[in-house]
Amino acid sequence: MSWYRNVVWFVKGLREYTRSGYESASKHFDPADLEVDVAGRSFLITGSNSGIGKAAAKEIARRGGTVHLVCRNKERAEDAKGEIVTETGNQNIFLHIVDISNPKEIWKFAEKFKTEHKLNVLINNAGCMVNNREVTENGLEKNFATNTLGTYVLTTALLPLLEKEADARVVTVSSGGMLVQKLDISDLQSGSGTFDGTMVYAQNKRQQVVLTEQWAKTHRSIHFSVMHPGWADTPAVRSSMPDFYQKMKNSLRTEAQGADTVVWLAVSSEAAKLPSGLFFQDRQPVPTHLPLARTHSPPGDEEKLMEVLEEFSQKFKSTSPGSPQCH
């Protein structure tokens, strides 16, 4: 069955996920959807010093939003901040240095952020595809720590702040690769068997879809969405998937094309009219499973995932106030 999923997904990808797929889909976009002024609204974007995160930050900044860049690398983040301010003329760009693979650091950051800022939209964009199994200082497998647990901890920590605001949203950048994976809660940290970074990443991206669906059920005042940016030419793709990049580089989307649906979900009034908890591609809700792929999981597994992540989250929550660097 796995070979079937992979073949169907790749054929679908060649048709829909490439630059030509975006160009075809964009013929049906309404430009008015993004002709908005979001001055006074606050946006937090993780992994925003390059790629899709930086492209989304620029578009939101151009529309007047206050943008909080959450990045791991201080030097690259400061360069990105300078570029965004220069290109957009928006001075309301703030930088926070946080490692999303470190749940203790996320908790400290979130507790401090809640006392100093408001938040209308959280964009979970930071991602990681490590092709050899690495364990963080907290004893967590790095892909899982960044993509799944990091997303869970940051989102749940900031939910009380989001719930104070009108038209609050959470947008999570997943991947179409999740379509080849059925949720597997038996080995969340990929400790057994052969380690395949691409499949671990795809599993994490499936987990992000489940998180979005579950949050949408329990937090009705916030609009949750998760999306696939398509196959875009980003630094992460070049470094994590060099063979794929070499084969596909002439067909990949630009960073701005990859970020388009992120921006649309974050700022357009049309996106908020659609039900919470959906998976999007090119401004349209799309199925979370391929036909006949047998990737549906029992509801008990989805609930168990939330329970396990909550246990992890509480384990790393510190009572001492933190003071991550903030500029």
- Flag whether 224 is in a domain: yes
CATH number at residue 36: 3.40.50.720
Q: How many CB atoms lie within 10 A of CB 193?
A: 7
Q: Which pLDDT belongs to residue 1?
A: 55
Q: Which residue has the tokens 């650091």?
A: 105
Which one, of 228, 230, 226, lies nearest residue 278 by Cα? 226
> Does residue 63 form part of some domain?
yes
Q: What values do phi and psi take at 47, rounded to 5?
A: 60, 45
- Determine, yes or no, domain membership for 325: no
Asked if residue 321 is part of any domain, the answer here is no
Residues in Cβ contact with 147 at an 8 Å cutoff, skipping those fewer than 6 apart:
127, 128, 201, 204, 205, 207, 208
**Is the Cβ–Cβ distance between 276 and 162 less than 8 Å?**
no
Range of the domain at 241: 3-314
β-strand pairing of 284-285 with 278-281: antiparallel
| Annotated catalytic residue, options 17, 22, 152, 201 | 201
Supply the pLDDT for residue 323: 42
CA distance 99 to 107: 11
Answer yes or no: 245 catalytic: no
Q: Tell me what pLDDT residue 320 has.
A: 45
Is the residue at 12 inside a domain? yes
Rg (CA), the chain: 18
Mean pLDDT, 10 residues at a time, over the chain (327 residues)? Answer: 74 86 97 98 98 98 98 97 98 98 98 98 96 96 98 98 98 95 96 94 97 98 97 83 82 95 98 98 96 92 98 83 44
| Cβ proximity of 209 and 288 under 8 Å | yes
Residue 327 lies in a domain: no
Q: Which residue has the tokens 């240095």?
A: 97
DSSP 124-136: E------SS--B-
CA-based max dimension of the chain = 52
Q: Does residue 319 lie within any of the structural domains?
A: no
What's the total number of domains in the chain?
A: 1
pLDDT given at position 87: 98
200 touches 26 (CB < 8 A): no
Distance between the two ends of the chain, CA-based, in angstroms? 50
Question: What is the structure's pLDDT at 322?
Answer: 46
pLDDT at 325: 43
